[in-house]
Structure 1
């Protein structure tokens, strides 16, 4: 029988079940090794990848198998991007080149704007209330988002947890996430080993929701939870693609 424990969850929805400990007792080293191995190992192959600036060594990739790009239909693909200070410019440009309807969210903007297939929103995503992704999608009239990019400056863990809890993950086809590992993240409590176990449980919940890891690239820094970890990275750019329905 699984010895998973329920992690406290804010708001309504299904609670996240924590994965069993990587070792017989809490261990930072064991949890770290398991987590890094998991987020560094792609699970699915794609015959046609879309890179930033057509660079096969780029910091991210999306799978466009089955897509005819650029899309030129009455209802094109829908893309969302959440990032501060326009750090998502390459992603937005590629989505526009692909013919998608693109929504760019950045609360640092002075004003909202829109032209053609690009709309810029002075807004952000959270795991609570009207700022939840499901509420944003409903407001914009989107039942589904085909390509979603987010760099939430360490809020990604609670946001992903909430999407698993309320079913929002089922409305996303591909997910590009920058994860930040130098500290635990907003409202993520516990010892370092507990935090790593929580992170691992969140990414495994993506797997249970029908996603497979497509692409993984390490970013700047080599500290995780303030520990120097040679060979690891403080940030990772992770691309997930939906390959099946929730398990």
Structure 2
């Protein structure tokens, strides 16, 4: 068996967040179960992808040809195509009033902030709102900002020592659970904390199980995910069960494994991931903002060139409830 410290070291090169080492542990918990992430062919069978017959809206910018229409991924061949498309979508935002919530400087870069859309059609009522925040580690400035905004914030992370976040205030609650496509308990040895070391049982739950745990039956207003590559398992699971319905805004940190870029199946791998993002559009969500995580851990230098891409970033989406079903920016 590979020692835990070696697994941590090998994974550090691909972890995209600038958070402290605690955030790496979330990756280790799910390291053995990520083989269930669907590829492009599996996504077709689950009907998450768009039908090739759907045409793109002629009102979108001129560079959107049929090659960019939903379901047709012939344009997507390389990592540059994937991230170039994500980063090039800012001018087509469906949100006119974006507000950054939380964040703090880390290595001269602001980290931990998320976007909030204040437009009336997706407005979150500060007098009656609920936030699920999956994957918090030690960075909770966003959670505090949303609580200050007026929301009830449920923070969740299965990788923290017992007793963390006991005194948070009336609007913030911490739950030591993680989000996944099936319930699972994973034993983990915490060694990197100065004031606590030992074994813990990390609990992973499905979204519906989390709601049952909290006694919630209505959709939340804001869903935040920073679950270290498990978003590619969780999002299809939730979409297949229509569990995104009613959620107004989603912030998800997406992670792409750069170790696959040199392999023959890289195109299939990237198209499978992109199909999941298109599935979000099928469920009414539109990408309002994307911000690459500019860290050394996520930096990837394209071989044979002087170009660099960042292999993860913060994707923010708002639910337009299919009011403009022809609009797309993914």
RMSD of the alignment, in Å?
Answer: 3.4
The answer as to 2:86 corresponding to 1:35 is no
Q: Residues 134 and 14 from structure 1, CA distance in 2 versus in 1: closer, same or farther, beyond 3 angstroms?
A: farther
SS in structure 2 at match of 1:196? helix
Q: Aligned to 2:228, which of 148, 153, 159?
A: 153
SS in structure 1 at match of 2:177? coil
Corresponding residue for residue 60 of structure 1: 114
For 1:234 and 1:168, how far apart are their aligned partners in 2?
27
Confirm or deny: 8 A CA contact 2:131 2:151 kept in the other structure.
yes
TM-score by length of 2: 0.59
For 2:277 and 2:222, how far apart are their aligned partners in 1?
18
For 1:126 and 1:210, how far apart are their aligned partners in 2?
22
**How many angstroms does 1:6 deviate by?**
4.3
Q: Residues 61 and 8 from structure 1, CA distance in 2 versus in 1: closer, same or farther, beyond 3 angstroms?
A: closer
Q: Mapping of 1:74-113 within 5 angstroms?
A: 76-87=128-139, 89-109=140-160, 110-111=162-163, 113=166
CA displacement 1:171-226 (0-9 Å, x = unmatched): 421110111113489xxxx9211110001100011111100111111112322999
Confirm or deny: 8 A CA contact 2:101 2:146 kept in the other structure.
no
**How many angstroms does 1:22 deviate by?**
1.5
Corresponding residue for residue 26 of structure 1: none
Aligned residues: 226
Q: Residues 237 and 226 from structure 1, CA distance in 2 versus in 1: closer, same or farther, beyond 3 angstroms?
A: farther
Q: Mapping of 1:1-247 within 5 angstroms?
A: 6-7=41-42, 14-17=46-49, 19-22=71-74, 30-40=77-87, 41-42=89-90, 43-53=92-102, 59-66=113-120, 67=123, 71-72=126-127, 76-87=128-139, 89-109=140-160, 110-111=162-163, 113=166, 115-129=169-183, 131-140=205-214, 141-183=216-258, 191-219=265-293, 220=295, 221-223=298-300, 230-245=307-322
**How many angstroms does 1:150 deviate by?**
1.1
CA displacement 1:100-138 (0-9 Å, x = unmatched): 000000112314746411110000000124711122123
Q: Residues 53 and 152 from structure 1, CA distance in 2 versus in 1: closer, same or farther, beyond 3 angstroms?
A: closer
SS in structure 1 at match of 2:286? strand
For 1:22 and 1:173, how far apart are their aligned partners in 2?
31
SS in structure 1 at match of 2:276? helix
Structure 1, unpaired ranges of 5+: 24-28
Confirm or deny: 8 A CA contact 1:50 1:62 kept in the other structure.
yes
Confirm or deny: 8 A CA contact 1:223 1:229 kept in the other structure.
no
SS in structure 2 at match of 1:94? helix
SS in structure 1 at match of 2:94? coil
